[in-house]
Amino acid sequence: MKNFYLLAAAVFLSGITIAQNDKERIQQLCGCFDVTFHYAETFSHQPTYTFHDREFISGGTELSLPIEVSDHKVVIQHLLVINDTFIIKHWREEWLYENREIWKYKGNRWWVKETLPASEVQGKWTQTVWEVSDEPRYQGYSPFVPLDNKIIWQSTADAPLPRREYTTREDYNILRRTNRIVLNSNGYVHEQDNYKVQRAEDGTEQILVEERGLNTYTKLPEQACDAALEFWKKNETYWTTVRLIWNEIISQRSSLKLRFKVDGKQLHDYLNKLSYTSVKSQMTDDALQTSIRTEINKFIIEPTGEMADNR
């Protein structure tokens, strides 16, 4: 029996060490970066498919700011640096160790929560990616693996259309993303092997085309992102409130379906406008929370039928 307890203690301590080492790796995703985004459609599964944007290239300066860090959780807010006076709140990623709750994207802006067995996520980190409005996008989970003198995290998950296409494409409704994060000495590389999928109401799927993505994050001097840091100091309270309200909404549901636009505008349009007006009008905390909930609730589609059973 003594040997059993010693073994159990060793396994427990080993788990702590793995989690701590991985947390330090995740924190390497933080900092000021020169970012490039490069995508290309590579191969179509449909003989009549017409390629769109065979090559898409973009980039800029981005601050990846750790806004919450604990033993089993790291939250990183991304901020785009356009110039010293213009900063854009970008996407957010949240890392959780051995997380069992996964929101799976079903298509047409509908997510359903699933609970995974503990054995499925043992030693693994879940990356949750949130929109610029802090609404959900997708989740994937994987361990960090050493390979060829590199540290790699890789996962496949269904997601909505990427921002570069969701206002211009209607021929597919699922981006099946295989995300591969490769850490290096001067930043990291985010590789993607994606399928663009059209999923019908009955669940049948048609893969239209494959896509390759290569996003590079190269460290810059911290002062290159000073303007973004100042922006966040002024706006952190507002966006923290948005994040906490979203967390509360999601915790009370087992499914979520959202409208894409309300009166011709997306949710981030409403929340960004509210962030400016709340500062000017010096809203109280209660008034601010009420206003944020009002904007978010405009976009929530209450469930019916099968969705009602999964709420």
Q: What is the CATH number of the domain that holds 143?
A: 2.40.128
Give me the number of domains the chain comprises: 1
Range of the domain at 142: 2-221
pTM value is 0.90
Q: How far apart are CA 174 and CA 171, in angstroms?
A: 10
Buried b (16+ CB within 10 A) or exposed e, 167-195: eebeebbbbbbebbbbbeeebbbbbbbbb
Identify the helix (H) or strand (E) that includes residue 119.
Answer: helix 118-121
Task: Please name the amino acid found at residue 296.
Answer: I
Instruction: With respect to residue 134, please indicate whether it lies within any of the assigned structural domains.
Output: yes
Instruction: With respect to residue 211, please indicate whether it lies within any of the assigned structural domains.
Output: yes
What pLDDT is stored for residue 160 in this prediction? 96
Instruction: With respect to residue 41, please indicate whether it lies within any of the assigned structural domains.
Output: yes
Instruction: With respect to residue 255, please indicate whether it lies within any of the assigned structural domains.
Output: no
Higher pLDDT, 17 or 16: 17
Instruction: With respect to residue 47, please indicate whether it lies within any of the assigned structural domains.
Output: yes
Q: How confident is the model at residue 30 (pLDDT cuts 50, 70, 90)?
A: very high
Higher pLDDT, 4 or 259: 259
Mean pLDDT (whole number) for 81-92: 91
